């Protein structure tokens, strides 16, 4: 019998929230086993148990039928379980070799480093990568960093390799390469767990798939003998009708145009002449994997980061063109800007403040909620209550409760409520559905389409190509701080993918 890693009956809760409910999972040496589920199903949590980061309330982890006790990552390493997380555990300031040495201690540092550098080169060659062990991690691309992580885990002797949503940060092309390599790793004598929410990956690269939903493992199947529809049904539970984009009406002159935007961070150039424009009643998508300047672009558009060069101009209702390149965030909001930031916790909501306050702060300027001398809290509460209904936000027992108590999807709906209640004319949405389950995703998409129908110019920046292709009228591909290609609907996915690679 080939060796196997088995999780049986795992139960885990955080406070009142049951994250894992009697979950079972087995993976055997020589195979690639996918763990499929939507965001929030519990896939990462289950694997964190296997990697020793979470301690289950009940259940057992077994290797070859023998129960093992994992009190931390060190134990997992001892049992040759290695995990590559979504946010890489790399010290940016160290070199690749130093990072690997950190995880794989050797008695002498100098000798150890040379030994590890040789090991890294050898593994890289076997796997078909190119990686320079002497390079500082901060200078590597995301894909290269991921390879460094994998090699680090392999050098530690991992037999059970867990990859958590590896293709989330890669272009289609890079993901393809990675998953092919991963199959080779499995065939060479390892057990690989591929945590993913993408059906296509499961169908193409996995020997077996376990479907998770709501903390439970529903079924283990073989992708070859299952249809996509069956898998979708298991993963999502019901059929969700994705909001459909209606055909576009004729458009006038651009509502917002960006030309030659340049900005740098810590001495590195992040935006190198970005230029595009968005019309009213249009959704313009910016595709591309993270790290190509999207974050800086959003910051420049919000007014939080100063651009070194370039302009951002908007066309006001009365026809005037206004240069907002140096306008403060307050001025931009007055002119109709709305922002849905990618990092909800950091920029979207103030968790320790109430739902009502988080909702009302968007319009407190306008004098809607009282004067400078006295804030009209009753009106705040009433308006919030109305918005909670209108935007279908669950989990709000009282508008005075803390915003941090809302779950991911509902928190995002609160952000949407705040932004869209003002009927903005320019919407900047940055990865608005990151980490949300399918239902919440659909709700967000609906609102974005509604804003477009109401006449707004919507800029959608997302790493999820499916989302971009499903919603956008025009798409720009962003690489290294510039828009390198633009496409109009109907959009060919292959061409977009190629544009991302060609200019990488």
Q: Which residues contact 109 (CB under 8 A, 6 or more apart)?
A: 101
> Which range touches other proteins (CB under 8 A), out of 282-290, 367-375, 382-390, 477-485?
367-375
Sites for other proteins among residues 114-153 (CB under 8 A): none
- Sign of torsion, CA 277 278 279 280? negative
Helix/strand/coil percent split, the chain, to 5: 40, 25, 35
Q: Which of 402, 422, 439, 480 binds other proteins (CB under 8 A)?
A: 402
Is 246 or 352 the residue whose CB approaches other proteins more closely?
352
Q: Which of 1, 66, 110, 490 binds other proteins (CB under 8 A)?
A: 110
Question: Where are the alpha helices (H) located in 133-290, listed in sequence order?
Answer: 142-155, 172-187, 199-205, 228-236
Sites for other proteins among residues 87-106 (CB under 8 A): 87-94, 98-99, 101-103, 105-106
- Hey, what are 196's tokens? 């993913």
Is 20 or 483 the residue whose CB approaches other proteins more closely?
20
User: How near is the Cβ of 503 to other proteins at its closest, in Å?
Assistant: 27
User: How near is the Cβ of 170 to other proteins at its closest, in Å?
Assistant: 20
346 binds other proteins (CB under 8 A): yes
Please confirm whether the linkage preceding 490 is cis (ω < 30° from 0): yes
Closest CA to 298 of 342, 255, 336, 331: 342
User: How near is the Cβ of 417 to other proteins at its closest, in Å?
Assistant: 14
Sites for other proteins among residues 418-477 (CB under 8 A): none
Q: Is 309:261 a contact under the CB 8 Å cutoff? A: yes
Q: Which residues contact 72 (CB under 8 A, 6 or more apart)?
A: 52, 53
DSSP state of 464: -
- Hey, what are 484's tokens? 């390198």
Q: Which of 246, 319, 372, 494 binds other proteins (CB under 8 A)?
A: 372
350 binds other proteins (CB under 8 A): yes
Sites for other proteins among residues 298-327 (CB under 8 A): 302, 304
250 binds other proteins (CB under 8 A): no
> From the CB of residue 246, how many other CB atoms can be counted at a distance below 10 Å?
9
User: How near is the Cβ of 331 to other proteins at its closest, in Å?
Assistant: 8
17 binds other proteins (CB under 8 A): yes
Is 309 or 330 the residue whose CB approaches other proteins more closely?
330
Is 158 or 209 the residue whose CB approaches other proteins more closely?
158
Is 254 or 362 the residue whose CB approaches other proteins more closely?
362
Site string for other proteins, 252-281 (x = CB under 8 A): --------------xx--------------
- Sign of torsion, CA 435 437 443 445? positive
Is 110 or 224 the residue whose CB approaches other proteins more closely?
110
Is 56 or 223 the residue whose CB approaches other proteins more closely?
56
Q: Which of 133, 254, 341, 432 binds other proteins (CB under 8 A)?
A: 341
Classify the phi-psi angles of 256: left when phi > 0, otherwise alpha if psi is within -120 to 50, otherwise beta: beta
User: How near is the Cβ of 36 to other proteins at its closest, in Å?
Assistant: 19
Is 48 or 479 the residue whose CB approaches other proteins more closely?
48
Sites for other proteins among residues 51-70 (CB under 8 A): 53-55
Is 241 or 373 the residue whose CB approaches other proteins more closely?
373
- Hey, what are 89's tokens? 């555990």
Question: Phi and psi for 208 in degrees, rounded to 5?
Answer: -140, 160
Q: Which of 224, 320, 374, 397 binds other proteins (CB under 8 A)?
A: 374
339 binds other proteins (CB under 8 A): yes
- Hey, what are 55's tokens? 């301690």
Distances (CA, A) of 89 to 152, 178, 222, 335: 10, 19, 32, 42
Distances (CA, A) of 424 to 254, 272, 302, 441: 16, 28, 14, 21
**Under rule CB under 8 A, how many of the chain's residues touch other proteins?**
74
Closest CA to 429 of 314, 317, 297, 303: 297
User: How near is the Cβ of 11 to other proteins at its closest, in Å?
Assistant: 13
């Amino acid at each position: 019998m080939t060796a196997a890693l088995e999780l049986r009956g795992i139960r885990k809760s955080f406070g009142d929230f049951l994250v894992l409910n009697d979950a079972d999972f087995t993976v055997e040496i020589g195979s690639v086993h996918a763990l499929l589920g939507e965001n929030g199903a519990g896939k990462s949590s289950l694997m964190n148990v296997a990697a020793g980061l979470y301690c289950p309330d009940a259940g057992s982890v077994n290797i070859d039928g023998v129960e093992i006790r994992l009190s931390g990552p060190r134990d997992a390493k001892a049992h040759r379980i290695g995990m590559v997380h979504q946010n890489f555990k790399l010290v940016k300031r160290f070199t690749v070799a130093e990072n690997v040495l950190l995880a794989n201690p050797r008695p002498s540092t100098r000798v150890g480093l040379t030994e590890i550098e040789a090991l890294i080169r050898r593994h890289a060659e076997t796997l078909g990568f190119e990686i320079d062990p002497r390079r500082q991690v901060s200078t590597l691309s995301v894909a290269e960093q991921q390879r460094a992580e994998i090699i680090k885990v392999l050098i530690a002797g991992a037999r059970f390799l867990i990859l958590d949503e590896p293709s989330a940060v890669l272009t289609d092309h890079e993901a393809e390469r990675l998953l092919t390599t991963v199959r080779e790793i499995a065939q060479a004598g390892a057990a690989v767990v591929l945590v993913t929410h993408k059906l296509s990956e499961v169908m193409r690269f996995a020997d077996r798939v376990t479907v998770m939903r709501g903390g439970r493992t529903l079924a283990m199947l073989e992708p070859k003998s299952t249809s996509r529809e069956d898998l979708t049904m298991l993963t999502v539970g019901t059929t969700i009708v994705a909001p459909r984009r209606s055909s576009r009406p004729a458009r006038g002159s651009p509502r917002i145009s960006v030309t030659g935007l340049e900005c740098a961070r810590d001495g590195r150039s992040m935006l190198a002449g970005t230029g595009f424009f968005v019309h009213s009643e249009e959704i313009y998508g910016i595709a591309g994997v993270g790290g190509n300047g999207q974050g800086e672009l959003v910051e420049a558009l919000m007014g939080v980061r100063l651009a070194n060069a370039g302009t951002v101009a908007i066309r006001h209702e009365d026809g005037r063109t206004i240069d907002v390149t140096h306008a403060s965030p307050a001025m931009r909001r007055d002119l109709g800007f709305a922002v849905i930031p990618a990092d909800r916790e950091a920029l979207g909501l103030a968790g320790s403040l109430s739902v009502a306050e988080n909702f009302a702060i968007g319009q407190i300027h306008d004098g809607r909620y009282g004067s400078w001398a006295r804030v009209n809290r009753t009106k705040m509460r009433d308006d919030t209550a109305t918005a909670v209904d209108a935007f279908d936000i669950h989990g709000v027992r009282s508008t005075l409760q803390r915003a941090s108590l809302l779950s991911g999807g509902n928190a995002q709906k609160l952000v949407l409520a705040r932004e869209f209640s003002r009927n903005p004319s320019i919407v900047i949405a940055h990865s608005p559905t990151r980490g949300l389950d399918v239902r919440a995703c659909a709700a967000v998409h609906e609102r974005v389409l509604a804003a477009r129908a109401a006449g707004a110019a919507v800029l959608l920046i997302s790493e999820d190509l499916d989302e971009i292709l499903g919603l956008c009228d025009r798409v720009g591909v962003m690489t290294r701080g510039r828009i390198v290609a633009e496409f109009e609907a109907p959009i060919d996915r292959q061409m977009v993918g190629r544009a991302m690679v060609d200019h990488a």
